[in-house]
Structure 1
Amino acid sequence: MIMSSQFLPLSHRMTSPTWIFDLDDTLHNASLGIFAQISRMMNLYMEHHLQMTEAEARHLRTLYWHRYGATLQGLVRHHGVDAHHFLQETHQLDQLYDWLEWEPKLTATLQHLPGRKFVLSNGPQHYIEGLLDRMRIRPLIAACYGMERMRFHPKPDRRGFRAMLQAERLDPSLCIMVEDSLPNLHAAKSLGMRTVWISKQCRKPAFVDMRISRLNQLLHRAW
């Protein structure tokens, strides 16, 4: 657990932290419906463009997810799929907005947290920006990085993290990664960031500095 400010290193006390937020199941609850809709669109894309059955598409998506961290990586590598076309076709915002839900106090939480805020997500750029606009929090985010700006190196690949850190000239030791994914937090920790796991589980791995169940709990800590 992150201690009060008197126990933090001097550099952390003198400088406001930089917040790096995941998007899905962090800033909004993708598991309520958006993930299912994206999954359906991915299956349909593979069935249509790769001439697969629904069962074959589901099997390959699971295989590529475990092997590469994202379906897209396997499709590009093994099937010659155009990454930009795939991301556009499988993240159609007009089919996703109806499923978008987020914490009622999200805007206030982000406004009151000290320091700049970024979004780092394995989703495509138009999807991230579209959802942030819909949630009316885009003006509170300094920049957002999706698959394209991560140079198609999805988390937990450290190259994706480094693409953002280098582009924004961020010091990892002053960054706090807020995520629902433990592998992604492990990668962030290995780069020198502090880590916040958004989860309702009771356990807390050693590489997680804080576990919360709701984002507004961030306001109850000294940063």
Structure 2
Amino acid sequence: MAAAGRPVVWLFDLDNTLHDASHAAFGLLDEAMNDYIAQALRVDAAQADFLRLDYWRRYGATLLGLERHHGIRAAHFLEHTHRLPDLEQRLRGSPRDRAALRALPGRKFVLTNAPASYAKRVLTALDLADCFEGIVSIEGMRLFGHLRPKPDARMFRVVLARLKLRPAQCVLVEDTLAHQRAARAVGLRTVWMQRYVWRNAHGPEVGARLRRKPAYVYARIRSLSTLATHFLPARAHVRHADP
């Protein structure tokens, strides 16, 4: 780690952190997952919607419940639910993000519960792909044969071991508090990206909770350009106001 204590590795979530997934993808993904569940499990639309939400709330990812309780193959589920033919046309991000990411010192990875093909499409369309050294997607979050996506603390430890990193070197930039809580327990510093969750009816971080910073969150931001103000010496950056 640098002598000044600054982080050298940044782990960025994808959806609702690097782009407005509530607008671009979540509604389409919910529909695709419901259709998949209804066909694969031979249940009606209401039961499919219930199972999707129930497994997401219980396990942090609908796929875990389907794999554990119904033997659904992860690769088959991910391929069929993430086709999203109109995704690129629906994507919305911040035009300042590319400059902010390229100016931010240190290694950068995307850490997402989404499949790699989807993550690559999003990053390419937003012109952010070359800002990152790599992508850790849900396909790489399997431990002893079992999927362990965020917020599973074991996954964070495994990812750090693969990348040969110490937790104190890393900062996780995320929109989801449950993921930050698990990461902080492992020893990472955490940043709560709130740009998109203010208007996100899909996730749990809504309303008054956005006005409080939990103890396990190091900083709250609404723009990637302000990351440097929290972690780097004043002379190392020029502060930008949040949009």
**Above 0.5 in TM-score?**
yes
Give the equivalent residue in structure 1 for 2:96: 105
Q: Matches of residues 173-192 of structure 1 in structure 2 within 5 Å?
A: 173-192=168-187
> Does residue 1:41 correspond to 2:32, yes or no?
yes
Q: Report the Cα distance in structure 2 between the residues aligned to 1:16 and 1:53, rounded to whole angstroms.
A: 49
**Structure 1 segments unaligned to the other structure (5+ residues):** 1-9
- Supply the distance in 1 between the matched residues of 2:102 and 2:171 (Cα, whole angstroms): 16
* 1:221 shift after superposition: 3.4
* Partner residue in 1 for 2:60: 69
Tell me if structure 1 keeps the 8 A contact 2:7–2:171.
Answer: no
1:160 partner letter = M
Match of 2:236 in 1: none
CA deviation after TM superposition for structure 1 residue 98, in Å: 2.1
Instruction: For 1:93 and 1:142, locate their aligned partners in 2 and report how far apart those are by CA, in whole Å.
Output: 25
**RMSD across aligned positions (CA):** 1.6
1:96 aligns with 2:87: yes
Task: State the AA in 2 paired with 1:117.
Answer: K
Alignment of 1:161-180 (within 5 A): 161-180=156-175
User: Cα 1:80–1:219, aligned 2, differ >3 Å: closer, same or farther?
Assistant: same
Contact 1:93 1:130 in 2 (8 A): no
SS at match of 2:139: coil
Alignment correspondent of 2:134: 143
Separation in structure 2 between the aligned mates of residue 160 and residue 127 of structure 1, nearest angstrom: 20
- Is 1:12–1:174's contact at 8 Å kept on the other side of the alignment? no
TM-score by length of 2: 0.83
The alignment status of 1:57 with 2:66, answered yes or no, reads: no
Give the percent of matched residue pairs that are identical in Structure 1 and Structure 2.
43
Match of 1:212 among 210, 213, 221: 221
- Write out per-residue CA displacement over residues 55-82 of structure 1, whole angstroms, 9 at most, x where no aligned residue: 0001111111121111101111111111
Distance 1:211 1:12, change over 3 A: farther
- Are the structure 2 counterparts of residues 129 and 12 from structure 1 closer, same or farther at C-alpha, using a change threshold of 3 Å? farther
Residues 13 and 95 of structure 1, relative CA distance in 2, 3 Å threshold: same
Which one of 106, 114, 121 corresponds to residue 112 of structure 2? 121
Q: Which amino acid aligns with 1:135?
A: L
Contact 1:182 1:197 in 2 (8 A): yes
Task: Find the residue that maps to 2:138 and give its secondary structure.
Answer: coil
Q: CA deviation at 1:219?
A: 3.3
Distance 1:196 1:14 in 2: 16
SS of the residue 1:57 aligns to: helix
* Cα distance, 1:12 vs structure 2: 5.7
The CA distance in 2 between the partners of 1:12 and 1:142, in whole Å, is: 23
Q: Within 2, Cα distance between the matches of 1:52 and 1:108?
A: 47
Aligned length: 214
Gaps of 5+ in 2: 199-209, 233-243
Q: Which whole-Å CA distance do the structure 2 matches of 1:105 and 1:216 have between them?
A: 7
Counterpart position of 1:7: none
Provide the rounded CA distance (Å) in 2 between the counterparts of 1:192 and 1:132.
28
Secondary structure at the residue paired with 1:177?
A: strand
Aligned-pair distance for 1:159?
A: 2.1
